[in-house]
Amino acid sequence: MANLPAKPSEKKDRGRLLLRLWQYLGRNRLLLALALVLSVSSSLLALYGPKLSGRAINAIALGQGKVDFHTVYSCAALMGVCYLLSSVLTYLLNAVMIRLSKIISRQMRHDIFENMTRLPISFYDKYQTGNIISIVIYDVDTVNQSLSSDLLQILQSIVTVAVSFLMMMSIAPKLVLIFVFTVPATAVFTRWLAGRVRPMFRARSARLGELNGFVEEMISGQKTIRAYGREDAVLEKFEIKNKIAVDAYTRAEANGTVTGPAVTCINNISLTLVCVFGALLFLRGDILLGDLSSFVQYSRKFSGPINEVANIIAELQSAFAAAERVFGLIDAEPEQPDAPGAAELTDTEGEVALEHVDFSYVPEKPVIRDFSMTAQPGSLTAIVGPTGAGKTTVINLLMRFYDADRGVILVDGQDIRGVTRDSLRRAYAMVLQDTWLFYGTVFENIAYGKPGATMEDVVKAAKTAKIHSYISRLPEGYDTILSDNGTSISKGQKQLLTIARAMLLDANMLILDEATSNVDTRTEQQIQAAMRELMKDRTCFVIAHRLSTIRSADHILVMRDGQIVEQGTHDSLMAAGGFYYELYQAQFETADGA
């Protein structure tokens, strides 16, 4: 499957990325303002220490054996107070930033999940579930880790560099000239390396997403893997994907960590030059020893943040790459909005018509061609045909999971493009071959589509679906918890629960897409008889491979290669001796051969 969309890393897009991150921060202005105040205050208190240290040294080095102990002691005491207060404020700052990061993380995940509920079904057909989960969990955490730690460090670094520079200018402007050469060298190097490393971190995020997607697929398919004895083949494929992911991770980290040592080397050279030229100025009497000591300390504080920022460049590149994927998912194109003035579909009678419908998932590869049919209210329409004939695609079009390329689909004479998707889908009850149950009680799973349903309603639907007796034998009955998509019960029982869920809805139309493929023939016949009673005067669509189960259908559509090749009742189609007859006979021959 394809990788999730991400923004390209051009300069203007990087600016937009930073603006988007800033917008998340800006939603919490009070916490952000408090963080700025704490950061500035903590840094200023810490930066006052070298000034006091220089005064103390000057008080000791007065000459002629004189020492101003009062100044030394007062400076030492004041230094202790400043550093203690700075530590307390730094702790409070960390607490504020952690809280801010948690709020942003929660908001990001909310925005992602909110958009995911609006994305078209085609989106989930294209992208791996594990890849999406990787963005929601790993990439959001990566972004917010950067916001809580790297942003804090950058804020403090800006204050430290600015104040240190002013202090150095006030002590010895001549020595500041050294940084005219070393700081630009650092900036040029880090900028060059950032441009080189960022694509590597983007590749790292993508490879980790692919690995997560693969692991999710293999975990969900363990029974099949073991049944076919494919453990070694899966392990071999995992090792390949794991190596690709690890190599991408190592490549990004190895190149990213070059920044720190290189910048440290440049800063050490600048410190060496400060010491050499500072000593010459001291010997000439142009600077006091204490002031020189303060300048050296400020020069380290000036260079230190530059080094720290260089060290987090790699982390920022990782955060940018993760943010691209996060915003790529948040900005993924949602399902097309309803047409202006779209009407609510209410009081549906259940007449459904498709007129000359064409559809393709991929351009120039048609799946449905010139498809026309009409289902009368209260009728049972069966759609049959070989695999790949387009049966499920018809259902996707009826529900507007996809829109037809050409032609129209009508419900009670209304073009479904002119009604809201929500009202259209609520007009159907749908049971799929792939059953879905969630963590919760049996009652909650059956009542899922009908908020406010009573126990009596749920029990009645379960009895109609022939699952009540099984539920009654469960330890807690209808209060029994189903976990992990109902893995503790059989596929047939899961399917009966989803059928009971559909029966509970007040829908005027019903779609069964291979919904009884996991139950035995006798139970399937019982369910269909019950559903015929339930769907009296309502429209029902059934996709079935077992043709013996749809002999009572009012209308049977026989599909091949996206077109209707035959239609009629079971008896008329059998009498015609065409494609339907061949399919029907082939099933019985297969059954006899078995």
Residue 163 pLDDT: 82
Residue 408 pLDDT: 93
62, with CB counted inside 10 A (0-12, 13-18, 19+), is: exposed
pLDDT at 308 over 70: no
User: Minimal CA–CA distance to 71: which of 83, 88, 86, 53?
Assistant: 53
User: Minimal CA–CA distance to 317: which of 142, 460, 469, 453?
Assistant: 142
Weakest-pLDDT range from 283-297, 344-358, 370-384, 410-424: 283-297
Residue 594 pLDDT: 45
Q: Do 25-330 and 343-427+554-594 come out as alike in CATH topology?
A: no
Average pLDDT over the chain reads 79
Tokens 């060059």 sit on residue: 192
User: Minimal CA–CA distance to 478: which of 491, 460, 495, 492?
Assistant: 460
pLDDT in tens, 228-261: 677 788 888 888 888 888 888 888 877 777 766 7
Residue 173 pLDDT: 78
What does the DSSP 8-state code read for residue 362? B
Residue 195 pLDDT: 72
C-alpha distances in angstroms, 419 versus 412, 505, 510, 517, 576? 11, 20, 18, 32, 39
The amino acid sitting at 169 is: M
Mean pLDDT value of segment 463-469: 84
Fold for the domain defined by 25-330: ABC transporter transmembrane region fold (1.20.1560)
CB 551 within 8 A of CB 562: no
State in Å, rounded, how far the first CA of the chain is from the last one.
37
Give the β-pairing of 352-359 and 368-375: antiparallel
Residue 165 pLDDT: 80
pLDDT at 591 over 50: no
User: Minimal CA–CA distance to 168: which of 355, 62, 310, 301?
Assistant: 301
Residue 4 pLDDT: 58
Q: For the beta carbon of residue 112, count every other beta carbon within 10 angstroms.
A: 19
CB 194 within 8 A of CB 14: no
| H-helix or E-strand spanning residue 37 | helix 29-60
How far is C-alpha 22 from the geometric centre of its chain's CA atoms? 20
Q: In the CATH scheme, what is the code of domain 343-427+554-594?
A: 3.40.50.300
Residue 259 pLDDT: 67
Round to whole Å and give the CA distance between 312 and 165: 22
pLDDT at 72 over 80: no
Task: Output 281 or 512, whichever has higher pLDDT.
Answer: 512
Q: Which two tokens stand for residue 43?
A: 């840094």
C-alpha distances in angstroms, 85 versus 38, 54, 152? 11, 20, 18
pLDDT at 593 over 50: no
pLDDT at 487 over 60: no
Task: Output 93 or 9, whichever has higher pLDDT.
Answer: 93
pLDDT in tens, 15-66: 777 788 878 877 888 888 888 888 888 888 887 777 777 777 777 765 555 6
Query: Domain boundaries in the chain?
Result: 25-330, 343-427+554-594
pLDDT at 107 over 60: yes
